Homo-oligomer: A and B are copies of this chain.
Amino acid sequence: MHVKMVPMAKKTHRIERRTDALSRERIIAAAIEILDTDGEAALTVRALAAHLATGSGAIYWHVADKNELLAAATDAIIARVMSEVAGGAEPREAIRAVALGVFDAIDVHPWVGAQLFREPWRPAMLEIIEGVGGRLQALGVPHAAQFDAASALVHYILGVAGQNAANARVHAPDTDRSAFLASVAAQWAALDPARYPFVRQMATRLRDHDDREQFLAGVDLILAGIGTVR
């Protein structure tokens, strides 16, 4: 059952619409809220309808389908990130800032990491490519190498993003992360030394590493590689 708002003055012309009217923006905002608080799997059309105190059909009047909803939510998050980064810093620092912005956004909204892979021509991906690639020219990267350089950086960012999204999907929303890392590290350490010598050696590093620092180390590594073709 639902409680309707009481239209107080019905004699005068009420230009304003009902204050609880649905809109594409309100739907996207509600979707983001559900995704952030309860995870990717919790965003069902029914849950969304309940959260908005409406029915499923009303949602489909404003949004084509769930895919479009997720894509729009992703675009909203990434656009916000890129506008916050902006700035006219030194190009190398700007690239790091863009990458870290995306990383941090996915830390807060893990579902974005999975969405970035779908429909790469959507605004979200364009923003990232532009944010990274736009600074490569200022870095002095030869024109012929800019496409490869931007592609490498963006794909690396995507890889980390997807991995973080996957990790968030596996965990309970607030599982102790260090406990999880320790458990995987223990599995690695218990592997057959003859078959997996490297992975075994990396077990302790996996346990102690900081995701954010390591992500940045990867960006720096790629930037160093880009520097060699200057």
CA distance A218 to B151 in the complex (A): 7
Tell me if B218 and A117 are in contact (CB < 8 A): no
Residue A52 at the B interface, CB < 8 A? no
Tell me if B117 and A198 are in contact (CB < 8 A): no
CA distance A157 to B148 in the complex (A): 14
CA distance A206 to B165 in the complex (A): 27
Tell me if B198 and A130 are in contact (CB < 8 A): yes
Output the nearest chain B residue to A208 by Cβ-Cβ distance: B147
Residue A228 at the B interface, CB < 8 A? yes
A117-151: CB near B (< 8 Å → 1, else 0) gives: 11111000010011001101100000000111111
Output the nearest chain B residue to A206 by Cβ-Cβ distance: B147
- Identify the stretch in A17-25, A43-51, A219-227 within 8 Å (CB) of chain B at 4 or more residues: A219-227
Tell me if B198 and A134 are in contact (CB < 8 A): yes
CA distance A226 to B217 in the complex (A): 11
Contact of A152 among B119, B163, B217 (CB under 8 A): B217
Residue A209 at the B interface, CB < 8 A? yes
A163-180: CB near B (< 8 Å → 1, else 0) gives: 101110110000000000
- Chain B residues, Cβ within 8 Å of A160: 155, 159
Task: Identify the interface centre among A126, A196, A198: most chain B CB within 10 Å of its CB.
Answer: A198
What's the least CB distance linking A129 to chain B, in Å? 5
**When A121-B187, A158-B162 are in contact, do A224 and B217 touch as well, CB less than 8 Å?**
no
- Chain B residues, Cβ within 8 Å of A220: 225
Residue A89 at the B interface, CB < 8 A? no
Output the nearest chain B residue to A218 by Cβ-Cβ distance: B152
Residue A191 at the B interface, CB < 8 A? yes
Q: Which 7 A-B pairs have the closest CB atoms?
A: A225-B225, A159-B159, A155-B159, A152-B218, A158-B159, A224-B225, A133-B198
